Structure formats: C-alpha cells, structure tokens
Structure 1
C-alpha cells in the first residue's frame, strides 16, 4: 500500500514530462520526434528520418515529389532517362548506423553497406574490364538492371520474400512470385517501389530472419510485413539516387557476383 502513491507520482511525472516535450503548431500539439510543423499551421509526419514537406494541402517526400514555388502545385520528380547509370545510398539521418551507406551487390542480393562483389574474365577481356568496385544500376520503363557489360545483362528484382536481388550472369532465372517491374528512379530524388502495397524500404540487420552476409539487407516493406520488420530491428530508409558520370560504353562491372 505504501508503494501506490510513489508509482502514481512516477506515472504522473512521466506524463507531465511527455506533455512538456510537446510543441504547438497552430491549435495542435505535436511530438517533434514524429512530426514537423509548417507555417505554424500544418503538421507533416517524419518518415525514415525525413520530415515530409508541405505543398497545397499535402505532405510529400522530396525523394519522389517537388512543389512549384510559382504555382504551389505538387508534381512527381522526373524519372532518369532510360539507361542512365546510377548508384544508391541509404538515407535516414535518425539512424546513423545506416545513414549514407551505399547499396552494394554481393551473392546475388542487395545490401546496405558491405562490399561490392564483381567478376571479370581478365584473360578474355583484359584492359576493358570495368573497375567493378561500386554497385551501379540502370532503369528502363519501370524495370531496373545492373549496369554490367556481360552478354545478356543481369536483371534486378524484388523476390517473393520482399528481398531485392539480381540474376546470375548468363541466366534469366527469377524466383516465381518475384516482381521485375514497378520501380522508379527519380532524378534528384530516390529509388521507389511503386508496386501495390509497397511501404518503402528497410535495412535489416544480419541477426534478423531476413538478414544475411554480415551486412544490412535491403528489404521492401509492405502491409503484411511492416510489423515483423520493425520487431526484427530493421531500420526504415529512403534510397537516394546518385547519377554516375560515365562516358558511353562504360559500365559498373563486367558482372556482379
């Protein structure tokens, strides 16, 4: 009986502390760790460490949209011209363990961080072997492929387990139930999964059921997996697009291994 007042006081102190941390946005109170206030009137959520911007009654991500300052209208960013080589990196300033890490290809899967694995038959190709030390992509009409020289190329895909992978060189095999299309690489923005039910990307630790390779594995969130991925310690990320300055005929690798 003696403990009850102490417990009650502790709970009240916690509530009062939480209330004290709230800020005011017009008539609303909000948690600045979860929302951002625009013009002291509009609240937008923070997603994957990005405070969403505001335009004409809508909250939007700068990884996908732009707002015209002249007309105050929202529109999609332009997609990269087909065949433009680009790299990806994870963006979430609130998660320093993954923020800024490059997306790398190894073992036919894509990871956040880690080392790119590539191969070139030097005896046949010689000095024409690309460097192969960075992971590069190209996009065509909603599909994405690895930026490689090997005949037949290597297609990237979203597997039925929601893990991003790519095909083996000289093979077109993709697991049944995979998604080959439904992606967009936006100029000055991000790489987005537009497939139905897509909720963005996460980087999952090697200790999670979908982890592997000792690195953060790139996984797509959806309406059925979002809860599990959070429990497994996966971190929400945006994927930032960086165009690669290359001359025609240059590639990221002969093939990614």
Structure 2
C-alpha cells in the first residue's frame, strides 16, 4: 500500500508540473516559425515532446529534417569533406571556411528559401551540377538533392518561408558528437536569432551535452547556442521555451538538473 501511495503521489506531482509548465509557456513564442533538426539517436518520443512544447507556446514548425549517423560519425569526416567539396560553389558566404562549417551552411540553405548568412550578398547562379530525374530549379534544390542522395539528410517538411529559431533534438551520440552539434548550431546562428540543442538522456550530464557545453564556452555569447538537458519530461516545455526566448533577446545558457547548471532560464 505504501508503494502504491508513493507512486500515486509521484503521478499527481508530474501531472501538476505538466499543467504548470504548459500554462507558463502559453503564447511565449506566438507567431514564430521554428525549424527542428533531429540528430541520429533521438527517439520519436523525444521529437514529439519538443514539437508539442513549441506548438503549445504558439510556435509553428517551419521545417523538420533528420541527420543520419554519417552526419556526425568521426570516422566519416573525409566523406563529409567530399560532400562539402561537391556543394561549395552553390553555398553562399563560405569562402575560406573548413568543410565542417561549409556543410552546416549547405544544410540550412537547402532547407530555408533564400537563406544566406548575416552580412552575405544575395545568392547568384547555381554553381553545381548534379544528375537528377529533373533539372534542379534553383540553388537550394541542388543542395538538397546532394545532401539527401548522400544520405546525410532526410526531410519531413521543408520550409516555405523564413524561420525565427532552430532547435536540434539529440539523444546519445558518438564521441565528438556534442562538439559537432554545437558547431552546427553556432553556424546556424548566422541565419536566425535563436539556436539551441535539446539533449535527451538518462543521466544529468550526457556526453553529447557535456561536449557541447565545453565547445560553447569557447564562443562569444552572441554566437553561442543554448543547451537544454532534458531528463524531466514535465520540465521540457519551460526549459525549451524560456531558453529560446532568452536566445532571441541575445543571451544564452545551459540548463538541466545537474548540480552545476540552472534548471530553467529566467522567463
């Protein structure tokens, strides 16, 4: 009986937290379009939690795309470099950048119409030819075809207009995966005011999150993505939404239940 009572109390607490969390974020992202990236290893339930939190806050999902294991596997760096070399002439604003960053620019420019990094000139003619059943209509189509045929990227929904924020959902990843994810999110900050990683895991300090936080510490605040370590499902909505609000205002932070982290960004 004592065990049943304890379980009932936990269930009641979780239900109360969920109600409070939902109420606290309602309307906070009203009218915003948020792109959702899903890294290999994230579960469908993880993605559903993030999408639900965004929609309950008034945002819409502008696009949803998944990165395969090849996107961040350290042993496939040479393969990714070859793909970057294929697309570089069709990617705006990447002159002199390493292939890892070129690839992240290519991904966002493939998914969002007319996307260019801050300060870059408008795109010119397509510089890459890629065999297709039908000729690529524009630069973004060429990029998307290369990225999907290489199986680095799969797309559930492509953006039809600008997006205001980008969220990457991750679970377990390879060694170095957290650094890769943070590099990508920092590149994407050149396109939108707010980028963040939501890392799901069984522990308070998943390796992907630890690596991402360490890499973020080397960046200027303006270029630093926020990190949310999602270990309590009831807390995911306020953690995610308030971190995005903070990002949009020019701030950044790392949040979770670990002892050295704040739980939630200040609303």
TM-score, normalising length: structure 2: 0.26
Bigger fraction of residues in strand: 1
